Amino acid sequence: MTSLTPAALGFRMPPEWAPHRGTWLSWPHRESSWPGIFDRIPPVFVHIIATLVPHEHVYLNVTGPDMEADVRSRLASADVPLDRVVFHHFPTDDAWARDHGPIVLQRSVDGQPEEAVLDWDYNSWGGKYPPFDNDNAIPSSVASHYGLHRFVPGLVMEGGSIDVNGAGTLLTTEACLLNPNRNPGHTKADVEQALRDYFNVEHILWLGDGIAGDDTDGHVDDLTRFVGPSTVVTVVETDPTDVNYHVLKSNRERLEAMTDQDGKPLRIVELPMPRPIYHDGERLPASYANFYIANGVVLLPAYDTDRDEIARAVLQQCFPARRVTLIPSTDLAWGLGSFHCITQQWPAPPDPRSTKNRQ
């Protein structure tokens, strides 16, 4: 751990479309996160791992040898190659690796790449689902295991609450980062300074509220995502009677007035919203914005047979060099998240011969 900030030392978080060393996942085991349907969740994780391993390694947090043996058996039964699955006996409380997993920063020193782990505090979205001590310890465990520098801002932040373009701009929401259940007593200016210091960004873009059913208080990865240095995709709702209509319309209008770090207007690509999905009378936070960008493939949640293909075609145009793959996600959404919520990328070491990230 060091007292200097990542910005002072030249570290920066690469965009998600930059090449990956692999993807972090935390194997699901908390049945209360998917009450009544938990048995359907491990097969979804097997499907995700099977989709990822042809393209990159999967780093999998499990509670210990018994869970590892169970997962190995499940993967082998599904003919998933195990040579690119790396097991870590790092106990977790839940499976939402986007929010508790290691955010890896990078820099180049004298032509040599260096990595560090950014270790924000994690409090289960404002203390909603204790316990969360094991989840909060994951970045420290990863940094220690791999011998990486660790930066500790001392503030609560989740990976799903921010998105970066890798060129100096960060996207987030007021509903989440300014919520008093995260960092009471800290002003918007305080939060912005922390984002600049620890993500090494110059330009911060603020959206408003999140979608209905989102227990994270408005994570941006259910709303709007960078898919290029100056391009975002954002979900829109066309039904004016839907509870998300005005929220998404307001966020869309904010985007129209925004620019990137160079003052260039954002290119805005619209994604549809799936039709409302309910489970036991509860509106689920189903959103096509919760996709995950991996090497060679984009994992897109499928919810709605009439709209899934529309969303897939939109994203395929954004990622012509990757295969956009639809994977059923309604069961996962009963836990109030989807593919982006359960994944955290580990960027590949930067090529010292290039300062640009491939898309």
Rounded mean pLDDT, 200-229: 98
Residue 32 has pLDDT above 70, yes or no: yes
CA distance 153 to 118: 8
Mean pLDDT on 191-202: 98
Q: Residue 103 is part of which domain span?
A: 6-347
For strand 297-302 and strand 323-328, is the pairing parallel, antiparallel, or unpaired?
parallel
Q: How far is residue 7 from each of residues 4, 14, 17, 121, 156, measured CA to CA in Å?
A: 8, 13, 21, 19, 19
Q: Read off the CATH number of the domain in which 311 is found.
A: 3.75.10.10
The predicted pLDDT at position 111 comes to 87
**Residues 308-354: pLDDT tens digits?**
999 999 999 999 999 999 999 999 999 999 999 999 999 998 765 55
Categorize the per-residue pLDDT at 359 as very low, low, confident or very high, splitting at 50, 70 and 90: very low
Q: Residue 49 carries which side chain, given as an amino acid letter?
A: I
Q: Is residue 352 part of a domain?
A: no
In whole angstroms, give the CA distance from residue 229 to residue 297. 19
Residue 357 has pLDDT above 50, yes or no: no
* Ramachandran angles phi, psi of 262, nearest 5°: -100, 10
**Active-site residue (options: 142, 300, 315, 341):** 341
Average pLDDT, the chain: 96
Give the sheet arrangement for strand 203-207, strand by strand.
Answer: 163-164, 169-173, 203-207
Residue 144, pLDDT > 90, answer yes
pLDDT tens, position by position, 44-99? 999 999 999 999 999 999 999 999 999 999 999 999 999 999 999 999 999 999 99
Asked whether residue 327 is domain-assigned, the answer is: yes
Other beta carbons within 10 Å of 89: 13
Q: What pTM value is reported for the model?
A: 0.96
- Within a domain: 1: no
* Residue 12 covered by a domain: yes
Supply 125's token pair: 């979205």
Residue 176 known to be catalytic: no
The pLDDT of residue 3: 72
The answer to the question of residue 354 being in a domain is no
Mean pLDDT confidence for 282-287: 97
Q: Which residue has the tokens 């897939």?
A: 312
pLDDT at 240: 98
Region 96-113: mean pLDDT is 95
What single-letter DSSP state applies at residue 15? Answer: P
Please tell me the total count of domains within the chain.
1
Q: Please tell me the predicted confidence (pLDDT) of residue 163.
A: 98
